[in-house]
Structure 1
Amino acid sequence: MSLHYQPGSVSFENVIKTFGNVTAIDNVSFTIEPGNLVTLLGPSGCGKTTTLRMLAGLEHPTSGRIMIGNKDVTHLPATDRDVSMVFQSYALFPHMTVAENVAYGLNASGVNKIEAKEKSEEGLELVGLADYGQRYPSELSGGQQQRVAVARALVLEPEVLLLDEPLSNLDAKLRRHVREEIRELQQKIGLTAVYVTHDQEEALAVSDRIIVMNRSVIAQEGSPRELYEAPASSFIADFIGDANLIEADIIATDGKTADVAVGTLRCSLPQRGFDKGRVQLAVHPSSVRLSLRDQQSTGLTGTVRRATYLGNQMQYDVDSEVGSLFVVDYRVEQAIPVGSDVSIAFSNRGLALVKTA
């Protein structure tokens, strides 16, 4: 195999980026270890794409430092950085064959034609398109075109692979399939990758770590499990897990756990630095338990306002004594009709005390 990869680390140190009077990135610092896939996740306008563009050299910071490996690249142009980028739009040349598209960057950088052809073939083999070299982009599906774009980036043997919303042009089923392929390929060759998306499920599925951005700063950084199960704020709980945010009261603590009251319900949760008093509780939709209410029922009271069948799950909107609740229930054979009075309880998992964002 002629393709060889030396994954590099990435470091942002107190990076600020302004456009006129607008601060797009506000004192952002993070480190990515070699061989990891880290996702920049956040809503539109949060700063994730600007961060990726600064790493690519398409934008330069107003202040701060950017490192790739042991090299300070803060003010280097894109052509002098050992990175490759996969764009949202694929950016394939329609008049070139697939093999010519993959070899384009190699030819442009002066690699001889024989070596470029060999690496192009290896790149297509890596992404499962070894027999597609002589086709044109118009003869490929969207998923195949995206794999060609990935191959074109990989043959440049970058220290860091950058992926800017790479699946946004694909339908839902194909997105899931291609994201699995990208993750498997990244792990197979041990490449450092920085992945930008606004899709929470996509980020959870592909990432070693996730950096969630909001309003130009990092809201929280951690593993997918840490972010989902231990959100640092109500913003993270809502954005990552579509959590219900409920007013609750801590009635006792012992330094590790907190006894929490939500109406008539009681639960014991990790204290997470909170003191006795009013708090906000994040409850994931799948952690809400509904049952038809009768005279023996306990728990919170509510009424089903909307019920939606989605094949493998029911989704309910419930008006309750603690506010409107969004509920995901996998007991599709026991669907609760709209208008039903229900008793509401919470499971032991999927609950966390959070700070107000």
Structure 2
Amino acid sequence: MNNTAAGSVVFENVRKTFGAFTAIPDLSLTIEPGTLVTLLGPSGCGKTTTLRMLAGLEHPSAGRILIGGKDVTALPANERDVSMVFQSYALFPHMTALDNVAYGLESSRIRRKEARERAEEGLKLVGLAGMGQRLPAELSGGQQQRVAVARALVLEPQVLLLDEPLSNLDARLRRRVRTEIRDLQQRLGFTAVYVTHDQDEALAVSDRIIVMKDGQIAQAGAPRDLYDAPASAFIADFMGEANVLPCDIVGVEGDSATISVEGLQHRVAGRNIRTGPAQLAIRPNAITLAPRTSNGSFNGEITHAAYLGDRVEYEVKTSNGTLFVVDPAVEQALAPRTEVTIGFKNRGIAIIG
């Protein structure tokens, strides 16, 4: 298979309306060739509409879309040099896996022999060598998903589009198949645009994540950047749970600041920070709890504790609301009604405004 066809994707001031409803008000973004970029966001944020416009299944109301430097805004789906893996896989139930993979090639008037050879290669590529004669009903959910990926890849598109590709799989299989997709993308170097509402999925597979809200980009960046340095409370909570607390920035030195929460002072990384009131996003696993034995500066009371095998989840009542805390110290679990002193770890805390 040809690994050199990876293309860039550019949206220039794209707008999409459905009657009086504006789904995408003004979207501009660039996806570099050979990268896997995830469009992430809650239902109704515009991510699927964006993917469908890229696929040619919807057309922009304004703006331009370019693939590999070519303006494809007005082109139909079959002339865009993209392939799509649908949420439902869309396999033909009466065709074998090999026939399903070869179907797009044969429809493109490629000679049957060559189409079958490339289909066999595609199945081998996704780890299904020797399973070409099985019907979809004889394959597991994960195997069906890989057939759908193989069918898309054998067309050697500039861009592979994946629309919630793992949503029909159970949690354990989802973890395995997302790893397979990422490994395949890195090995072959194709450009992929991946749509999901699952934050863990996005963090696991992406070179870059674009978080969308109300048809616009709320924040874009590398997975670690979005997790460690969210730009807003929305991003902090959407990229994994976060507790948002008011704080005071009492000192700034270089690229870090000293914050105060109810008298508890802590050093936090950040740039372009000014002293004064702000908000702090704190990951549940960045909070420490200890039985209150003295007058700690930041105190609370455990109202709920849930043992989950490898961790304990707590709800802690404070004067600033309830904190959600995750603690791996299951051997030292604290009981409800325990008064605690609250502390912060060095990682998992960000100033968001």
> How many angstroms apart in 1 are the aligned matches of 2:305 and 2:239?
23
Q: Tell whether the 8 Å contact from 1:257 to 1:270 is kept in structure 2 after alignment.
A: yes
Q: Once the 2 structures are TM-superposed, how far is the Cα of residue 254 of structure 1 from its aligned partner?
A: 4.0
Other-structure match for 1:330? 328
Q: Report the AA paired with residue 307 of structure 2.
A: Y
Q: Tell whether the 8 Å contact from 2:3 to 2:190 is kept in structure 1 after alignment.
A: no
- Structure 2 residue 351 is the aligned partner of structure 1 residue 345: no
Q: Tell whether the 8 Å contact from 2:242 to 2:283 is kept in structure 1 after alignment.
A: yes
SS at match of 1:76: coil
Other-structure match for 2:160? 161
Q: Which runs of 5+ in 2 are unaligned?
A: none
Is the deviation greater in 305-314 or in 214-223?
305-314
Other-structure match for 1:117? 116
Q: Tell whether the 8 Å contact from 2:122 to 2:154 is kept in structure 1 after alignment.
A: yes
> How many angstroms apart in 2 are the aligned matches of 1:203 and 1:133?
30
SS at match of 2:350: strand
1:1-357 aligned within 5 A: 2-254=1-253, 256-294=255-293, 296=294, 298-355=296-353
Q: Once the 2 structures are TM-superposed, how far is the Cα of residue 68 of structure 1 from its aligned partner?
A: 0.5
Is the deviation greater in 84-93 or in 255-264?
255-264
Q: Once the 2 structures are TM-superposed, how far is the Cα of residue 297 of structure 1 from its aligned partner?
A: 5.4
Q: Once the 2 structures are TM-superposed, how far is the Cα of residue 20 of structure 1 from its aligned partner?
A: 1.0
Q: Return the TM-score normalized by structure 2.
A: 0.97
> How many angstroms apart in 2 are the aligned matches of 1:299 and 1:163?
49
> How many angstroms apart in 2 are the aligned matches of 1:24 and 1:215?
7
Q: Return the TM-score normalized by structure 1.
A: 0.96
Instruction: Give the share of equivalent positions with the same residue, in percent.
Output: 63
Q: Report the AA paired with residue 242 of structure 1.
A: E
> How many angstroms apart in 1 are the aligned matches of 2:168 and 2:89?
9
Q: Report the AA paired with residue 130 of structure 1.
A: A
Q: Once the 2 structures are TM-superposed, how far is the Cα of residue 274 of structure 1 from its aligned partner?
A: 3.6
Q: Deviations over 1:76-128 (max 9, x none)?
A: 11010010000000101110011001111111111110010001000000110
> How many angstroms apart in 2 are the aligned matches of 1:248 and 1:241?
21
Q: Tell whether the 8 Å contact from 1:249 to 1:277 is kept in structure 2 after alignment.
A: yes
> How many angstroms apart in 1 are the aligned matches of 2:254 and 2:336?
43
> How many angstroms apart in 1 are the aligned matches of 2:234 and 2:271?
17
> How many angstroms apart in 2 are the aligned matches of 1:334 and 1:107?
63
> How many angstroms apart in 2 are the aligned matches of 1:86 and 1:309?
39
SS at match of 1:162: strand
Q: Tell whether the 8 Å contact from 2:97 to 2:135 is kept in structure 1 after alignment.
A: yes
Q: Deviations over 1:235-255 (max 9, x none)?
A: 101110211000111123346
Q: Tell whether the 8 Å contact from 2:3 to 2:189 is kept in structure 1 after alignment.
A: no
Q: Once the 2 structures are TM-superposed, how far is the Cα of residue 341 of structure 1 from its aligned partner?
A: 1.2
Is the deviation greater in 253-262 or in 43-52?
253-262
SS at match of 1:119: helix
> How many angstroms apart in 1 are the aligned matches of 2:30 and 2:153?
22
> How many angstroms apart in 2 are the aligned matches of 1:299 and 1:57?
58
Q: Tell whether the 8 Å contact from 1:3 to 1:119 is kept in structure 2 after alignment.
A: no
Q: Deviations over 1:8-66 (max 9, x none)?
A: 01111111111111111121111111110000000000000000000000001111111
- In the alignment of these two chains, the number of paired residues is 353
For the structure 1 residues 197 and 92, does the alpha-carbon distance in structure 2 shift closer, same or farther, using more than 3 Å as the test? Answer: same
SS at match of 1:241: coil
